[in-house]
Amino acid sequence: MPSPSSPIIQEFLQHLWLERGLSKNTREAYQRDILLFSNWLKEQENDLVDASEDDLRAFLGWRFEQKYHPRSTARQISSLRAFYRHMLQNHQILTDITANIEMPRQGKALPKTLSEDDVNALLNSPDTDTTIGQRDRTMLELLYACGLRISELVNLNLDNINLRQGVIRVTGKGSKERLVPMGQEAIDWLASYLKQARSELLNNYESRTLFPGRYGRPMTRQTFWHRIKHYNTIAGIKSDVSPHVLRHAFATHLLNHGADLRVVQLLLGHSDLSTTQIYTHIANHRLTELHKEHHPRG
């Protein structure tokens, strides 16, 4: 039965990397979706190669009974569709069992974001009299100032930083590079961090990593997510804050202050403008709420 090391799954993941340039995180998401179906098939004494359209429909029915969200199911179908089309093209199967499967209906969910006051409260939460606090404050400032993904932030090294020009070079999805301005506040925090706190964190270890964890190695995404959760509690913010919520706040606040949508697209590293357009819905929603709150006939 297929497993994470199954040749047909690994060959597909290799294809996603070599032919489509998808990131490790995206490839892992594909793998999880395929393995979930594979494990379900195993319980039915079946496998990925011999599965039929009826098997897939039964699996989707099981997901519905388990109360999986329609958006999650849509992503699962998308992953399986790419997988089975690839196998069909490689003559590993005779028919594509996903060909007649429709995507579940789903509303357009708006990304969670934060108000500017909440962002300020979060940024002010770390105790900057400590080395760890200085590092965390600098990471939060960069995350918000540049709209970075968490993986982009933790993988930064000294070669990515240009304090004189005030920009960082970011490697995003598909290994695509972009230059992002930092803004004076983030530059000041970064300069202060590099002056003292970073060397104290390294503790004589050699590393080019900008924000080192233990033994000079890059901090993991999970570690920094827990740091944000900690500061979220200190700041007293009612909604859950994740690194991606700060990225959403970055885009939304730019649009609220009059930034052009295509500029925001470039800063976020989106290859398609339609991906960025979701933030216009957030900005319009905010304007509607402000109108209701402050207009005499709202």
Q: Which residues are known catalytic residues?
A: 149, 173, 244, 247, 270, 279
Taking the CA atoms of 89, 31, 224 and 234 in sequence, report the sign of the dihedral they define.
positive
List the one residue out of 26, 113, 23, 274 whose CA is nearest residue 264: 274
What's the maximum distance between 2 C-alpha atoms anywhere in the chain? Answer: 67
Contact 152, 175 (CB under 8 A): no
How is the beta sheet containing 161-162 ordered, strand by strand?
Answer: 161-162, 167-171, 177-181
Alpha helices, DSSP H, located in the chain: 7-18, 24-43, 53-65, 70-89, 116-123, 131-146, 150-154, 184-192, 198-202, 221-235, 243-256, 261-268, 273-276, 278-294
